Amino acid sequence: MEANKNVVLHVADVHKNFGGLHALADIDLQVEEGRTHAIIGPNGAGKSTLLNVIIGRIPPTSGAVVFDGTVLTGKKPFEINQLGVSRVFQTPEIFADLPVLQNVMTPAFAKRDGAFKINLSTPLERESALREEAEAMLEDVGLVDRRHTTAGSLSRGDKRRLELAMCLIQKPRLLLLDEPTAGMSRHDTNTTIELLKKIKSRGMTKVIIEHDMHVVFSLADKISVLAGGRIIAEGLPSEVRGDPRVQEAYLGGTHQ
């Protein structure tokens, strides 16, 4: 399928096999710039495998991933990150022994210098501009009052917001979120929804994997449904909600 001119991410005819297991088959996914594209499906559908292919953690068996005209397939994860693609993982990946503020400053150094060249013992006062930027980002995610707290002591929900801040300070053009509200209370989930809406207003493109249909229907401009490693339905939220194939494969009666 040919990508249209507004598509910033094109996963083109991607297949991924693990031995005899076909984890992904015939995946053609087009994500338009500035939009929020949700990927839903039951456990084992291939959602996380698809994100790992996009960010270069695992190679596709065949097919290609193209971001803003650049083929990502074959590039290393850090090279893809440098091109403007960031991912928030299902299990937060943070520097547990460092203060919250330094967690956010570290990827900012990496983005600026092209590699993790920062000595983590360097006094923050020597980088006042980055510190101010990191504090502003922590204000956005509601963690500025905890900037001197050791990151490992945060709650699960706060760790997820911290990782989001660590991604956002890199100013990605494309943000991939793997279950961004998993394990959160309803209050924290709604706070995260409002934060992601604010990000959308800034024009950032997002791909979200999420089981919580409240989150999906609150944020998504378009939804792709995976089942058995294939896209079985795709469209506007209203179209997907009413698709009997989706209801059978994933949504069921409790999410109508």
Q: pLDDT by residue (tens digit) across 38-69?
A: 999 888 899 999 999 999 999 999 999 999 99
Per-residue pLDDT for 119 more than 60? no
How many other β-carbons are positioned within 10 Å of the β-carbon of residue 48? 18
- Give CA–CA dist 207/1, Å, rounded: 20
Prediction pTM value: 0.85
The predicted pLDDT at position 120 comes to 53
Interval 191-209 mean pLDDT:
86
Which of 90, 87, 114 is closest to 9 using CA atoms?
A: 87
| Mean pLDDT computed over 118-124 | 54
Q: Which of 24-33, 37-46, 211-220 is modeled with the greatest confidence? A: 24-33
Note the pLDDT of residue 256.
Answer: 37
In angstroms, rounded to a whole number, what is the distance separating the alpha carbons of residues 111 and 137?
Answer: 15
Residues of the chain with CATH 3.40.50.300: 1-84+174-256
Phi, psi of 27, rounded to the nearest 5 degrees = -80, 115
Residue with tokens 């999906």: 216
Lowest model confidence (mean pLDDT) among 24-33, 225-234, 241-250: 241-250
CATH number for region 1-84+174-256: 3.40.50.300
What count of Cα atoms within 13 Å lies in the side-chain half-sphere of residue 76?
Answer: 3
> What's the pLDDT at 2?
53
Maximum Cα–Cα distance across the chain: 58
- pLDDT surpassing 50 at residue 221: yes
Does the structure show a pLDDT above 90 at 176?
Answer: yes
Residues 139, 133: Cα–Cα separation, whole Å? 10
Average pLDDT, the chain: 86
Distance CA 209, CA 57 (A): 17
Whole-angstrom Cα distance, residue 132 to residue 109?
Answer: 13
pLDDT in the model for residue 202: 76
195 pLDDT higher than 60: yes
Residue 168's nearest CA partner among 191, 190, 193, 195 is 195
Residues 21-28: contacts with CB under 8 Å, at least 24 apart: 22/229, 23/49, 23/229, 24/49, 24/50, 24/53, 24/60, 24/229, 24/230, 25/229, 25/230, 26/230, 26/231, 27/63, 27/229, 27/230, 27/231, 28/1, 28/231
Contact 162, 143 (CB under 8 A): yes
Residue 40, Cβ density class (10 Å: 0-12 exposed, 13-18 middle, ≥19 buried): buried
Q: What is the mean pLDDT of the segment spanning 18-28?
A: 92
220 vs 231: CA distance, rounded Å: 17
Of 90-94, 173-177, 219-223, least confident by mean pLDDT is: 90-94
pLDDT at 68: 94
Residue that is written with structure tokens 């058995």 in the block: 228
| Buried/exposed 120-141: b ≥16 CB within 10 Å, e otherwise | eeeeeeebeebbebbbebbebb
Q: Which of 29-38, 92-101, 174-183 has the highest mean pLDDT?
A: 29-38
Q: Per-residue pLDDT for 5 more than 70?
A: no
**Most confident residue range from 98-102, 106-110, 183-187, 251-255:** 98-102
Q: What is the pLDDT, as a whole number, of residue 116?
A: 47
